[in-house]
């Protein structure tokens, strides 16, 4: 067995589900996609550098490569047990319906070669027809989003042991409040300069296909921002980059970008 020495030990936070999550995750959205063997190499290199939290999604198309990388890491002794990893994936917009969530997570688990996820997120608060091209949506292809039905199915995935925690992505505070009115299990997370994020008590997901930059993204634990630097960052004008305007179609259920984000632009 090879001797693999992890370069950085990443701190963990406790989720409301009672499970721990590394505060830095490695983003698995590789765009444009690379051949699977190259993506496997990238994920192995990330593990060698100390990453143990991997953030993938059905939409990213990287679940199979990550699954292969995990199997290889176990085989070569880079990790001793699957439990050393924290694996996040996401429910895509074509599956945000009560009847489709369970089949979707089972497909994800099959691609990852895993029995369970650590965290499963609703990727967007949107529902799209299954055969639609999400990069060019047409009239009639964006459907009403059944938030409560989708979340009930997410809760059932948790109860079945298919995921340890469930959460949200790209949800506004207003949408979260509405979801909580009927939720049995509360979301463990809502995913939305690295040290700045870390010092706010949030977790973060970083991404690089370059081995040296993978290392650089982890070098935030042995220094702190000065108070003056924090103040400067606080006063930077914020604006939303990904406005999700592709989900606005003629006569669709979402009438405007402002409505989608509940005015929080």
Q: What is the pLDDT of residues 94-106, one digit of tens each?
A: 999 999 999 999 9
pLDDT at position 262 is 85
How far is Cα 237 from Cα 239, in angstroms, rounded to an integer? 7
Contact 134, 128 (CB under 8 A): yes
Whether 1 shows a pLDDT value over 90: the answer reads no
The domain spanning residue 242 has which CATH number?
3.20.20.100
Looking at the domain assignment, is residue 1 inside a domain? no
pLDDT at position 213 is 66
pLDDT at position 172 is 87
Tens digits of residue pLDDT in 120-162:
999 999 999 999 999 999 999 999 999 999 999 999 999 999 9
Contact 146, 97 (CB under 8 A): yes
**Longest CA–CA separation in the chain, Å:** 60
Looking at the domain assignment, is residue 5 inside a domain? no
What residue numbers bound the domain in which 202 lies?
Answer: 12-260
Number of domains forming the structure of the chain:
1
Looking at the domain assignment, is residue 265 inside a domain? no
As a whole number, mean pLDDT of residues 225-246 equals 61
pLDDT at position 40 is 98
Concerning whether 60 is annotated as a catalytic residue, the answer is yes
Contact 49, 73 (CB under 8 A): no
Looking at the domain assignment, is residue 7 inside a domain? no
Whether 67 shows a pLDDT value over 80: the answer reads yes
| Residues of the chain above pLDDT 70, percent | 78
Question: Which is more confident, 157 or 9?
Answer: 157
* Secondary structure (H, E, C), 123-180: CCCCEECCCCCCCCCCCCCEECCCHHHHHHHHHHHHHCCCEEEEEEECCCHHHHHHHH
Q: Which two tokens stand for residue 22?
A: 């590394």
pLDDT at position 64 is 98
Q: Of the listed 51, 60, 120, 198, which one is catalytic?
A: 60
Tens digits of residue pLDDT in 73-93:
999 999 999 999 999 999 999
- Which residue positions form the known binding site for substrate? 123
Looking at the domain assignment, is residue 179 inside a domain? yes
Query: CA dist 246 to 59, 138, 210, 212, 252, Å?
Result: 15, 9, 31, 35, 11
Contact 112, 67 (CB under 8 A): yes
Looking at the domain assignment, is residue 249 inside a domain? yes
Whether 253 shows a pLDDT value over 60: the answer reads yes
As a whole number, mean pLDDT of residues 154-181 equals 95
pLDDT at position 217 is 66
Question: Which stretch, 5-14, 96-105, 216-225, 251-260, has highest mean pLDDT?
Answer: 96-105
Contact 28, 54 (CB under 8 A): yes
Residue for token digits 């220094």?
223
Looking at the domain assignment, is residue 4 inside a domain? no
Rg (CA), the chain: 19
pLDDT at position 226 is 62
Tens digits of residue pLDDT in 198-232:
445 545 666 566 667 666 666 655 545 566 754 66
Q: Which two tokens stand for residue 149?
A: 């039905």
Looking at the domain assignment, is residue 182 inside a domain? yes
| Residues of the chain above pLDDT 90, percent | 65
pLDDT at position 219 is 63
Residue for token digits 């006569």?
251
Closest to 90 measured CA to CA, from 242, 205, 177: 205
């Amino acid at each position: 067995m090879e001797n693999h020495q992890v370069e950085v030990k990443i701190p963990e936070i406790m989720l409301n589900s009672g499970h721990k999550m590394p505060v830095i995750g490695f983003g698995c959205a590789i765009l444009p996609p690379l051949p699977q063997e190259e993506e496997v190499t990238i994920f192995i290199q990330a593990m060698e550098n100390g990453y143990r939290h991997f953030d993938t999604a059905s939409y990213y198309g990287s679940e199979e490569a990550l699954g292969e990388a995990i199997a290889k890491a176990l085989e070569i002794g880079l990790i001793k047990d699957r439990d050393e990893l924290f694996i996040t994936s996401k429910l895509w917009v074509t599956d945000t319906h009560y009847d489709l969530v369970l089949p979707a997570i089972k497909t994800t688990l099959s691609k990852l070669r895993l029995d369970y996820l650590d965290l499963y997120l609703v990727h967007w608060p949107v529902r799209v027809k299954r055969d639609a091209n999400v990069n060019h949506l047409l009239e009639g292809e964006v459907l009403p989003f059944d938030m409560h039905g989708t979340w009930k199915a997410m809760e059932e995935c948790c109860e079945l042991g298919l995921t340890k925690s469930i959460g949200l992505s790209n949800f506004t505070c207003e949408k979260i409040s509405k979801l909580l009115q009927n939720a049995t299990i509360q979301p463990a997370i809502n995913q939305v300069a690295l040290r700045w994020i870390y010092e706010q008590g949030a977790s973060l997901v970083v991404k690089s296909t370059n081995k040296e930059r993978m290392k650089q993204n982890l070098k935030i634990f042995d220094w702190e921002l000065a108070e003056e630097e924090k103040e400067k960052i606080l006063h930077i004008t914020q604006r939303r980059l990904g406005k999700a305007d592709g989900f606005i179609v003629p006569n669709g259920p979402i009438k405007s970008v402002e409505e989608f984000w509940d005015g929080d632009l």
